[in-house]
Amino acid sequence: MRQFEYAFVVNAPLEKVWAFHDDPTALPKVMTGPVKMHVHHVERPLQPGSRILMTMQIGPFRQRWNVQLREKVPPVFFTDEQIAGEGPFRQWRHTHAFEAIDAHRTRVIDRLEYELPFGLLGKIGDALFGRVVMQGLFAARAKATRRWLESPGSAGATSADPSRP
């Protein structure tokens, strides 16, 4: 499997950054580029084994993408993994890690292990374009995350989802 890592700093305390990322309904807020995510259902309470049912959209094309939370150690990290056969990747494992730099800044580290579909063709495409595409997607996510968490008056609240305990 290929590996990719992206890290950035948010001018917000660890607790606020964790709370934002711990809510899957925040995902559409940080996927602001050509790739959009729609969260349809989250099994709560969010804990290892919980499923998150989504759709990924690129232009007019939509793909179901369902993941399951595998590990969670608040406020240090959580890992989600694509459910086999229920997403755009052959395999996908994403660890979201958080480190307090000081009382007001947090480092966010995204670690991916993934494999594209389409066998040899997918491997060639990934070798040619994968890193550039991932770099662009995660840079856009970092920018959107900062916009949400660094804005004046932001409390890190992500939704008014009544199903959230």
Q: Write out pLDDT tens, residues 11-25.
A: 999 999 999 999 999
pLDDT number for residue 155? 54
Q: Which residues contact 91 (CB under 8 A, 6 or more apart)?
A: 1, 82, 113, 114, 115
Go through the domains of the chain in sequence order and give each one's CATH number: 2-33+70-150 (3.30.530.20)
pLDDT number for residue 75? 98
pLDDT number for residue 122? 77
Give the start-end residues of each E strand in the chain: 2-10, 35-42, 51-58, 61-73, 77-82, 91-102, 105-115
pLDDT number for residue 20? 98
Name the pTM for this structure: 0.88
Contact in structure between 108 and 142 (CB atoms under 8 Å): yes
pLDDT, tens digit, 9 for 90 and up, residues 104-124: 999 999 999 999 887 888 788
pLDDT number for residue 153? 67
- CA 133 vs. chain centroid, Å, equals 15
Task: Say how far apart CA 124 and CA 135 lie, in whole Å.
Answer: 18
pLDDT number for residue 131? 85
Angle between helices 14-21 and 131-150 (to 10 degrees): 120
Residues of the chain with pLDDT under 50: 157-165
